[in-house]
Structure formats: C-alpha cells, structure tokens
Amino acid sequence: MIKFKAAKRALILELELLMDVVVDDENTVYETVHLEREELDNAVIDLIPSTQEIVCVTSFSVDDVIGFIIADKQNNNAYGIGFIDCDNQLKKWEV
C-alpha cells in the first residue's frame, strides 16, 4: 500500500509540472499543457509552423463545446482557436 501511495503522489507531482490550471471569475476552468508537435491532431498540425516542436494547448469548456487555443511554447503567440462538439468533431477553427 505504501508503494501505491508513493507512486500516486509521484504521478500527481508530475501532472502538476505538466499542467497549468486557472479558474476565472465565471468559474471557467482553463487547463494548459505542453505538447510535442507529433501529439497534435492531424486537423491542426499543418497550421503550426514547422519550427515549433513544442506548443501550448489551453483547453476550456463552454456548455457542451470544448474550446482550445494553440500557442507557441511560451504561450505568447496564438496560432488559432478551435471548438469541438460533444461528438469530438471539430466545429470551427479560427486563425
């Protein structure tokens, strides 16, 4: 049991390093993760400059739609914003 608890704590610490979670005044949760280029979906990978090997992806939920913003590694310059409906279909992508 001790090994399980230690492994669970190690996983939580690793996730805390990978994720940045922010809750705004309207209780919308924004979760940011760093992803390598090859981890991106084929629908958006061509929209990211080939020089960017790691990008920031910030996701948020509005009603039954999940939104996501893809930006550079420093999360300073956004490449676009997309929305996925409850069927995991890309509804809209704006650059």
Tokens of 57: 């992806």
Residue 7 included in any domain:
no
Residue 75 included in any domain:
yes
Tell me if 59 sits within 8 A of 66, measured CB to CB.
Answer: yes
Higher pLDDT, 88 or 69: 69
Range of the domain at 42: 20-94
**CATH code where residue 26 lies:** 3.10.450.250
Question: How many domains does the structure of the chain reveal?
Answer: 1
Residue 55 has pLDDT above 90, yes or no: yes
What is the reported pLDDT for 15? 53
Q: What is the mean pLDDT of the chain?
A: 76
Higher pLDDT, 6 or 37: 37
Averaged over 15-27, what is the pLDDT? 62
Residue 5 has pLDDT above 80, yes or no: no
Averaged over 41-62, what is the pLDDT? 84
Residue 53 has pLDDT above 90, yes or no: yes
What is the reported pLDDT for 18? 55
Residue 27 included in any domain:
yes
